[in-house]
Amino acid sequence: MGEGGFHRIYIGILILIAILTTSYLAYEGYAYYLLGIEDRFFHPDHQTLKPSGILGHGFGIIGSLMMLVGVLMYIVRKRVRRFSRFGILKHWLEFHIFLCSLGPVLVLYHTAFKFGGLVAISFWSMVAVVISGVIGRYIYLQIPHTIEGREMSLNEINQTKDELNRQLVQVYHLDKSALQEILQSVKKRPDRSGKSMLKRSIAKFLFEIKIIKEVKTILRRNQISAKNIRQVTALIKNEIALNRKIDRLITMQNLFKYWHVAHLPFAILMLIIMLVHVAVTVTFGAHWIF
């Protein structure tokens, strides 16, 4: 199994952990969390699931630690040069997303879905961080990156496209006329005028399917084997994706800069209030299992 296969397993495990944990907490606490505050006192799980209970308190501690670790480790890996050799930045980002997605879920269960005052500000800041993180992840994926996670320049993107074209000629033995025909098909753009965003997305999806069919027709006409057609089609899909990203590269780069301006303040506010909350709780004698 290649590196790509192990990476897919790694991502699958993280997603599975997040889904199973969230599902388990929802299933086990469903009856308790649906009750009003007055009625919860009489529920048999109140002593364990309330914010100061053994589980409720633990959710808050573990969730907060996950967010702290997720934020700090990614900042250190990205900003401190001596750590640049430790792993691929993209993988660190993926683990950061995992910790900072599951952590807030645990914190939400720590609050028992009841919060107010200063904690409410921290909670809604956390929600803003999670939502902006999802948006940031989408923007990040629209910008081409190297395998290490570094943002590619336009020149590097064009070099990648040249490498794809070289593989088509040297590995799959396409003649120049067939290559040019394929490139002309790939360069086509869907009509984006006078449509809503949803309609444009659907039209783009259908248009790209049409382009792939055209490419397969060209390959069959050039007597390319079925196995090679599948492999070449995968390369062509990469070429289409690169063309799409090039079209909006500047826009996405600018959006990513603005995104940092919005994401970071919410994260800092959340962490500051969270630390104040912990300090006040400890000062007034609250403790967990220690």
- The least confident of 40-44, 131-135, 152-156, 194-198 is 194-198
Burial of 57 from C-beta contacts in 10 A (0-12 / 13-18 / 19+): buried
pLDDT tens-digit profile of 94-130? 899 899 899 999 998 998 888 777 777 877 888 888 8
Q: Which residue has the tokens 């869907």?
A: 190
Given this model, what pLDDT does residue 154 score? 67
In a domain, 94, yes or no: no
Range among 39-43, 232-236, 238-242 with highest mean pLDDT value: 39-43
Residue 64 has pLDDT above 70, yes or no: yes
Q: Is 151 helix (H, G, I), strand (E, B) or coil?
A: strand
In a domain, 90, yes or no: no
In a domain, 227, yes or no: yes
Given this model, what pLDDT does residue 130 score? 86
* pLDDT range class, residue 27, cuts 50, 70, 90: very high
In a domain, 186, yes or no: yes
Sign of dihedral through CA atoms 117, 118, 120, 125? Answer: positive
Expressed as residue numbers, the domain containing 216 is 154-191+203-251
In a domain, 256, yes or no: no
- The mean pLDDT value for 224-252 works out to 77
Tally of domains within the chain:
1
Given this model, what pLDDT does residue 153 score? 67
Residue 290 has pLDDT above 80, yes or no: no
Tokens for 227, please give them.
Answer: 């196995």
Given this model, what pLDDT does residue 150 score? 62
The residues that bridge with 16 in the sheet, in sequence order, are none
- Contact (CB, 8 A) for 32 and 46: yes
In a domain, 237, yes or no: yes
pLDDT cut 90: percent of the chain above it: 17
Q: How far apart are CA 232 and CA 183, in angstroms?
A: 13
How would you label 105-117 residue by residue, b for 16+ Cβ within 10 Å and e otherwise? bbbbbbbbeebee
* pLDDT range class, residue 152, cuts 50, 70, 90: low
Q: How far apart are CA 115 and CA 273, in angstroms?
A: 13
In a domain, 176, yes or no: yes
How far apart, in Å, are the Cα atoms of 263 and each of 135, 136, 196? 10, 8, 28
In a domain, 56, yes or no: no
* pLDDT range class, residue 278, cuts 50, 70, 90: confident
Average pLDDT, the chain: 81
Residue 18 has pLDDT above 90, yes or no: yes
Q: Is 120 helix (H, G, I), strand (E, B) or coil?
A: helix
Q: How far apart are CA 263 and CA 277, in angstroms?
A: 21
Q: Cβ contacts of residue 67 below 8 Å, gap of 6+?
A: 99, 100, 103, 104, 107, 126, 270, 271, 274
